[in-house]
Amino acid sequence: MLDRFEITRRKLIMTLAAVLVSTGAMWSAWPAQAQDDPLPSWNNGAVKQAILSFVAATSQEGSPDFVPPADRIAAFDQDGTLWVEHPMYSQVIFCLDRVPTLVASKPELKEVEPFKTVLTGDREAIAKLPMADLEKLLEATLTGMTVDDFKAEVQKWLATAKDSRWKRPYTELTYQPMQEVLSYMRTNGYKTYIVTGGGQDFVRVYSEATYGIPPEQVVGTAGGTKFGYDKDGRPILTKEPKLLLNDNDAGKPEGIHLMIGRRPVVAVGNSTGDRQMLEYTTAGEGPRLGMLLLHDDAEREYAYGPAQGLPATKVGTFTQGLYDEATINRWLVISMKKDWKRIFAKGTAN
C-alpha cells in the first residue's frame, strides 16, 4: 500500500509534467529528474541541453512539438561523425590493402598504375594519384565478386585491420558521445539511419554490431549488381562497376528520398558533404534539429577545418562557409574539445 506522502508526491510530479506540457516549457529539467543522464560522456552545456530538450519535446505526447513515432527519423553521416575518418577513410584503406591480393590473382597489373604505386606502400605517392587512377583502384577492388564474397572479405579485413595511430580495430574507434545519442534517440522512439558517402555494402557489414543500426537502415554510395547463377546453378548477385547513387552532397537528400521515403527530423554530419542533407532536413515543417561535429581536438583525436582557423583538409572538410551557414540556420555545432568528456567508446584510449 502507498502511504499518504507517496501518493501526494506522485500527484505533484504528474501535475508538474502537465504544466510543462501545457506551457510548452523546455523539457530539460524533467528528463534529468525522471531518469539517469542518457548522455554521460557529454559535458553539461548548451549543446547537450539542446539535444535533451529536443528529443524530450518531440517524443512526449501532449508536447506542442510532439512528432508521431512514424516520422521520428534521424539521419547520421558515418565517417567523421560516428567514427574516425583521419588520416584516410577506412574504406579507402580497405581498398589499398586488397591490392596485393588482387595483383597476385592478376599479375599483369603489377606494372600498371595505380597498382604499381600502391604496391610500393608510399602513402605520400598514393595520396598524389589522380582521380582517374583512384576510380580505377576502387573499381578493381570493390567489384567483380559476388555480394556474399564481398561481405566475407570486409568481415575478414575488419577482424585484423587496425588504425595506424591507436593500433585498435576501426570498429572500436567509434565516438562514445555519438553512440549515446543514437541510443537515447532510439529509446525515445526514433529510427536511426546512417546516410554516408561511403560504400553502402561496406558499411552494412558492420553497422548493426557497431552502431545498433541494421543494414536496411544504411543509405550509402551504391553500385550496380547483376543477377546470375554460379557453377552449381545457385542464384547470385555480382557487384558491377556501375554507379547507381553517389551518396554525398546533393546525393544524400536524393538517397534519403529513394531509400527512406520520409524527410528526417534530425540530421547529423561533420563536413561540406553533409550540407545538403542538413538543409533538406531542417527545411521541413515542425521541429527540426541539425548538428555538425567540429573536429577541434588534436590531442585526443584530430583538429581540422578550415573553419575557425583550423588546419585545412581534403578529408572531412568543414569550411568557414559551412560554419556560418550553421549559425544562420541555428544548427548545433558540436565542439569535440569542449562538448565531449571522452572521445572513443569505453575500453579504448582517449
Task: Say if CB 154 and CB 205 are below 8 A apart.
Answer: yes
- Residue 64: cis peptide before it, omega within 30 degrees of 0: no
Q: What is the CATH number of the domain that holds 235?
A: 3.40.50.1000
In a domain, 23, yes or no: no
Both 224 and 122 in one domain: the answer is no
Q: Which of 138, 160, 182 is the last residue of a domain?
A: 160
Both 153 and 270 in one domain: the answer is no
In a domain, 30, yes or no: no
Note the pLDDT of residue 264: 98
The residue whose grid cell reads 550553421 is 326
Note the pLDDT of residue 347: 59
Range of the domain at 72: 35-87+167-339
Chain segment 216-234, per-residue pLDDT in tens = 999 999 999 999 999 999 9
Q: Can you tell me the distance from the alpha carbon of 291 to that of 301, in angstroms, rounded to the nearest whole number?
A: 19
pTM listed for this prediction: 0.88
- Reported as half-sphere exposure (CB side, CA atoms, 13 A), residue 278 has a value of 25
Helix axis angle, 46-59 relative to 176-187, nearest 10°?
20
Domain count, the chain: 2
Both 47 and 134 in one domain: the answer is no
Chain segment 309-322, per-residue pLDDT in tens = 999 999 999 999 99
In a domain, 4, yes or no: no
Both 147 and 52 in one domain: the answer is no
Q: Can you tell me the distance from the alpha carbon of 26 to that of 105, in angstroms, rounded to the nearest whole number?
A: 62
Both 125 and 220 in one domain: the answer is no
In a domain, 319, yes or no: yes
